[in-house]
Amino acid sequence: MIFKAIILCCIFFYFSFNSSASLSKHTSLNKSITLNLSSRSYENREYYFELIKLALEKDGYQVTINDLGISNTLRQKKNLNDGKVSLILRLKTPLRDKNFTKVNIGLTKGLIAQRVLLIRKHDQYIFNNIKNKQDLNDNNLVAAFGESWFDIAVWQHNNLPYIELLGDRQKIYTMLASGKRNIDYFSRGINEIMSESQRHPSLNIEQNLLICYKNDIYIYVKKDNHQLAEILEKAMIKADNSGLLDQLITKYWGNLKQELQLDTRTKITLDMPN
Domain boundaries defined on the chain: 32-109+216-242, 112-214+260-269
Q: Per-residue pLDDT for the chain (274 aa), expressed as one digit of tens each?
A: 444 444 444 433 333 333 222 223 333 446 899 999 999 887 789 999 999 999 999 999 999 999 999 888 889 999 999 999 999 999 999 999 999 999 999 999 999 999 999 999 999 999 999 999 999 999 999 999 988 889 999 999 999 999 999 877 888 999 999 988 889 999 999 999 999 999 999 999 999 999 999 999 999 999 999 999 999 999 999 999 999 999 999 999 989 999 999 999 999 999 998 7
Question: Which CATH code for domain 112-214+260-269?
Answer: 3.40.190.10
- Helix then strand count (H, E) for the chain reads 12, 12
Three-state DSSP class for residue 195:
helix
How far is C-alpha 14 from the chain's CA centre? 50
Q: Determine the pLDDT at residue 44.
A: 85
Provide the terminal-to-terminal Cα distance of the chain, rounded to the nearest Å: 80
* 162-165 and 143-146 strand pairing: parallel
Query: Which residues on neighbouring strands pair with residue 103, listed in sequence order?
Result: 219
Q: Phi then psi for 91, rounded to 5 degrees?
A: -65, 145
Whole-model pTM? 0.82
CATH 1.10.10.10 fits 32-109+216-242, yes or no: no
Q: Please report the pLDDT score of residue 30 as a whole number.
A: 61
CB 249 within 8 A of CB 111: yes
CB half-sphere exposure, 237, CA atoms < 13 A: 8
CA distance 156 to 153: 5
Burial letters 142-158, b for 16+ CB under 10 A, else e: bbbbbeebbbbbbbeeb
Distance CA 80, CA 76 (A): 6
Report the candidate in 243, 247, 239 with the shortest Cα–Cα distance to residue 60.
Answer: 239
Q: Rounded distance, CA 222 to CA 113, Å?
A: 24
Q: Please answer whether residues 172 and 144 qualify as being in contact, where contact means their C-beta atoms are separated by less than 8 angstroms.
A: yes
Q: What share of the chain is helix, strand, coil (3-state, %, to 5)?
A: 45, 20, 30
Which residue type, as a one-letter code, is found at position 49?
A: F
Query: Can you give the pLDDT at residue 40?
Result: 84
Q: Please give the Cα distance from 45 to 191 (Å, whole number).
A: 12
Are the beta carbons of 136 and 209 closer than 8 angstroms? no
